[in-house]
């Protein structure tokens, strides 16, 4: 590992770029909320009353939604829009403020500071991707050491993103914009936004559930708008996934390393869906515990003594999912596609081969039964 004292300026600038991207996405949500938020959120009491009065009305103004989405997409993805987007959205931002509900969430402030500090310390200890993953590194290291480095980088990234999402909640709370509190049973779900549930995300054992936990934040509104506009819920899941991943690449700024990561994520998700479907549809596995469960649910079953092959399958699924995410995250720490290519070639495209072998294993088990 690279023990370089102090935090590299380039790394700090890169983290600042992540924060700017987060602010850009936050301003997008603030713009979307007053315009189409009421049409995208879950049914409220008012919408339910309107529906009871007139079942023939959908409650969604499609033309307004598409117009708002096009305008949002331009202002948030174009070179001009990235810089002036928050200024353009200032009026909409102030319209969402509720002075009587302004408050500071001191726990979130502490959480943002602690997780950001831990992430920076881990990245400082492990060393930057551009400096560590050089040609000499691959000649003088083992696969195990490389996997350990990837794991450390992934932990640093997750801590940094958790800090960013916590900062988003702080901003929304301070401005008086209501934030969904999952601990309040009376609070309407997804009324506005909530930060990433870090612990919940780490317990997920499938790519789709992990991404849903990841996107229970400011990105949730954008994906909902995207799904609604293109009616992706009517398409095949894999086709819809391809469209969403393509949009995600454009949204974050397309470059080759990110494209490689997105391609691996897409391919791995499709294979994982096949594995889960084959396992769940097996005639000999129709018990309650056969459903895909996250790490917390598996742990609760183990504590009750319900240890069986279903639990083992879910644990294997959790390990492979989280390690694949670790592998993909490296691409987000560098714009140098040659580094990502050399790393993945050095590891023999670990995620793809791993999921293909797991798919083959499930097929063999199913044919044997």
Q: What is the mean pLDDT of the chain?
A: 66
**Residue range 58-75, pLDDT digits in tens:** 343 433 443 444 454 444
Tell me the three-class secondary structure of the chain, residue by residue. CCCCCCCCHHHHHHHHHHHHHHHHHHHHHHHHHHHHHHHHCCCCHHHHHHHHHCCCCCCCCHHHHHHHHHHHHHHHHCHHHHHHHHHHCHHHHHHCCCHHHCCCCHHHHHHHHHHHHHHHHHHHHHCCHHHHCCHHHHHCCCHHHHHHHHHHHHHHHHHHHHHHHHHHHHHHHHHCCCECCCCCCCCCCCCCECCCCHHHHHHCCCHHHHHHHHCCCHHHHHHHHHHHHHCHHHCCHHHHHHHHHHHHHHHHCCCHHHHHHHHHHHHHHHHHHHHHHHHHCCCCCCCHHHCCCCHHHHHHHHHCCCCCHHHHHHHHHHHHHHHHHHHHHHHHHCCCHHHHHHHHHHCCCHHHHHHHHHHHHHHHHHHHC
Reported confidence tier of residue 192, pLDDT bands at 50, 70, 90: very low
In this prediction, residues 353-359 reach a mean pLDDT of 79
Average pLDDT over residues 319-336: 79
Q: What backbone torsions phi and psi does residue 98 show, to the nearest 5 degrees?
A: -130, 95
Q: Which of 32, 41, 101 is nearest to 72 (CA)?
A: 32
Q: What is the structure's pLDDT at 154? A: 86
Q: Does any domain span residue 3?
A: no
Q: Is the pLDDT of residue 2 over 50?
A: no
pLDDT tens digit string along 5-59? 344 566 566 556 655 555 555 555 555 444 434 433 433 444 444 444 444 443 4
Please give the residue range of the domain that contains residue 51.
Answer: 9-368
Say if 1 falls within a structural domain. no
Of the pLDDT bands very low, low, confident and very high (cuts 50, 70, 90), residue 312 is confident
Question: Within a domain: residue 264?
Answer: yes
* pLDDT value of residue 179: 58
- pLDDT band for 318, please (50, 70, 90 cuts): confident
For position 60, what pLDDT does the model report? 39
What was the pLDDT predicted at 3?
41
What pLDDT is recorded for position 255?
A: 64
- The pLDDT value recorded for residue 24 is 55
pLDDT of 283 strictly over 50 = no
| The predicted structure's pLDDT at residue 329 | 80
- Residues 72-100: what's their mean pLDDT? 52
Instruction: Identify whether 2 is part of a domain.
Output: no
Please give the pLDDT value at position 250: 65
How close are the terminal C-alpha atoms of the chain, in Å?
A: 47
Query: Does position 145 have pLDDT exceeding 80, yes or no?
Result: yes
pLDDT given at position 294: 75
Cα-to-chain-centroid distance, residue 131: 27
What pLDDT does residue 173 have? 67
Beta carbons within 10 angstroms of residue 50's beta carbon: 14
Band (pLDDT 50/70/90 cuts) for residue 195 is low
**Quick check: is 266 in a domain?**
yes
Give the C-alpha distances (Å, rounded to integers) separating 145 from 128, 226, 339, 340, 352: 15, 40, 16, 16, 20
Number of domains in the chain: 1
Q: Which pLDDT value is given to residue 184? A: 57
- How many Å apart are CA 295 and CA 304, to the nearest integer? 14
- Model pLDDT, residue 134: 77
Q: Across residues 127-143, what is the average pLDDT? A: 79
Question: Shortest CA distance to 278 belongs to which of 288, 306, 270?
Answer: 270
CA distances from 179 to 75, 200, 207 (A): 24, 18, 26
229 part of a folded domain = yes
CB of 159 closer than 8 Å to CB of 121: no
Q: Is the pTM of this model over 0.95?
A: no
Q: Convert the pLDDT of each residue in 241-261 to its tens digit.
A: 777 777 766 666 556 677 777
Listed as own residue / partner, the contacts of 277-283 with beta carbons closer than 8 Å and 24 or more positions apart are 278/362, 278/363, 278/366, 279/313, 279/362, 279/366, 282/366, 282/369, 283/369
Q: Which of the listed ranges 43-57, 84-98, 153-167, 274-288 does the model predict with the highest average pLDDT?
A: 153-167
pLDDT at 51: 46
pLDDT (0 to 100) of residue 167: 74
Asked if residue 186 is part of any domain, the answer here is: yes
What's the rounded Cα separation, in Å, for the pair 239 and 3? Answer: 45
The answer to the question of residue 304 being in a domain is yes
Structure tokens at 304: 């009750």
Q: What is the pLDDT of residue 39?
A: 39
pLDDT value at 156 more than 80: yes
Share of the chain above pLDDT 70, in %: 51
User: What are the pLDDT digits (tens) for 221-244?
Assistant: 556 656 666 677 777 777 777 777
């Amino acid at each position: 590992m690279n023990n370089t004292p102090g935090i590299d300026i380039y790394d700090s600038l890169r983290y600042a770029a992540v924060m700017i991207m987060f602010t850009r996405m936050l301003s997008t949500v603030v713009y979307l909320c007053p315009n189409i938020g009421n049409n995208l959120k879950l049914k409220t009491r008012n919408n339910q009353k309107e529906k009871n009065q007139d079942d023939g009305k959908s409650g969604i103004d499609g033309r307004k939604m598409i117009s708002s989405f096009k305008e949002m997409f331009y202002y948030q993805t174009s070179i001009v829009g990235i810089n002036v987007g928050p200024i353009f959205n200032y009026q909409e931002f102030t319209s969402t403020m509720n002075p009587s509900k302004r408050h500071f969430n001191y726990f979130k402030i502490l959480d943002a500071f602690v997780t950001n500090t831990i992430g920076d310390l881990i990245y400082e200890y492990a060393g930057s991707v551009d400096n560590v993953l050089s040609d000499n590194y691959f000649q003088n290291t083992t696969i195990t050491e490389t996997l350990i480095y990837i794991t450390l980088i992934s932990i640093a990234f997750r801590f940094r993103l958790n800090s960013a999402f916590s900062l988003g909640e702080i901003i929304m709370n301070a401005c008086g914009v209501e934030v969904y509190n999952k601990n309040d049973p009376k609070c309407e779900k997804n009324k506005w936004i909530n930060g990433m549930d870090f612990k919940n995300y780490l317990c997920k054992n499938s790519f789709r559930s992990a991404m849903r936990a990841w996107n229970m934040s400011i990105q949730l509104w954008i994906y909902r708008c995207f799904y609604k506009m293109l009616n992706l819920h009517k398409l095949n899941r894999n086709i819809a996934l391809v469209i969403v991943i393509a949009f995600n690449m454009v949204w974050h700024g397309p470059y080759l390393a990110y494209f490689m990561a997105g391609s691996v994520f897409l391919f791995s998700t499709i294979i994982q869906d096949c594995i889960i479907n084959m396992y769940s549809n097996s005639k000999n596995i129709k018990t309650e515990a056969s459903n895909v469960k996250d790490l917390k649910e598996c742990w609760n079953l183990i504590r009750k003594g319900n240890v069986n092959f279903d639990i083992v399958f879910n644990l294997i699924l959790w390990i492979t999912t989280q390690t694949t995410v670790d592998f993909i995250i490296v691409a987000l720490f560098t714009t140098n596609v040659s580094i990502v290519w050399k790393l993945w070639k050095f590891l023999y495209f670990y995620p793809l081969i791993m999921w293909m072998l797991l798919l083959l294993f499930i097929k063999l088990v199913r044919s044997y039964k």
